[in-house]
Homo-oligomer: A and B are copies of this chain.
Amino acid sequence: MSLSLLEQLIESLRVLPGVGQKTAQRMAYHLLEREREGGKRLAETLGVALEKIGHCAMCRDFTESEICATCASASRDRHQLCAVESPADRLAIEQATGYRGLYFILQGRLSPLDGIGPRELGLDALAARLAEGEITEMIIATNPTVEGEATAHYLAQLARQHRVRPSRLAHGVPLGGELEYVDRGTLSHAFGSRSEMT
């Protein structure tokens, strides 16, 4: 017996992250009962977005243009470049900080065992850009994982080769975090990186 349209809809909603059978059912009923207009808009926008959204030729962020709005903006500081692993990381920094420079989205991290090397992260293009001389500081904001750290060291070396100053985010005890619940590695690092109180 073939699936009914409702069953197909529930099945296809499960492609969303964190959405299992129960949640997919609830979503399908919600759309059919109360949000037919919003659901139609979602169907159309999703179709167009998946067809048109590609990567910015400069920073590799998602965009439907050749160059994304940030890279094309005249009001951003073109001397600073912040390297992040993913578009979500870029968005987190953009929303949480007052950073007004440019970005470079690696779309991953160095992982030789998975076949992800400098080429896959677009580092040849990044090197060419650093060589142009406009960028003076590269803020390296990869994640504090083993692979993220290895990527950070590679990027720092690349920056120095082009006389660009590499910098990285401070690690330590999160604001509002209680020492008791901070993981040992972070606590050890924070202790070792203590600064004098003035």
Contacts and interface: CB of A to CB of B under 8 A. Distances in A.
Interface in A64-108: 64, 69, 86-88, 91, 107
A8 interface: yes
Interface of A: 4-6, 8-9, 12-13, 15-18, 23, 25-33, 35-36, 38-53, 62-64, 69, 86-88, 91, 107
B8 A49 contact: yes
Contacts of A28: 49
Contact of A44 (B38, B47, B49): B47
Q: Is the interface of A mostly helix, strand, loop or mixed?
A: helix
Given A15-B38, A15-B41, 17 more contacts: A5-B45, A5-B52, A5-B64, A6-B49, A6-B63, A8-B45, A9-B53, A12-B41, A12-B45, A13-B42, A15-B35, A17-B26, A17-B27, A33-B87, A33-B107, A40-B47, A43-B50
B63 A25 contact: no
Q: Which 8 residue pairs spanning A and B have beta carbons closest together? A: A15-B38, A43-B47, A43-B46, A9-B49, A12-B45, A12-B42, A17-B30, A5-B64
Contacts of A107: 33
Nearest to A92: B25
Contacts of A25: 88, 91
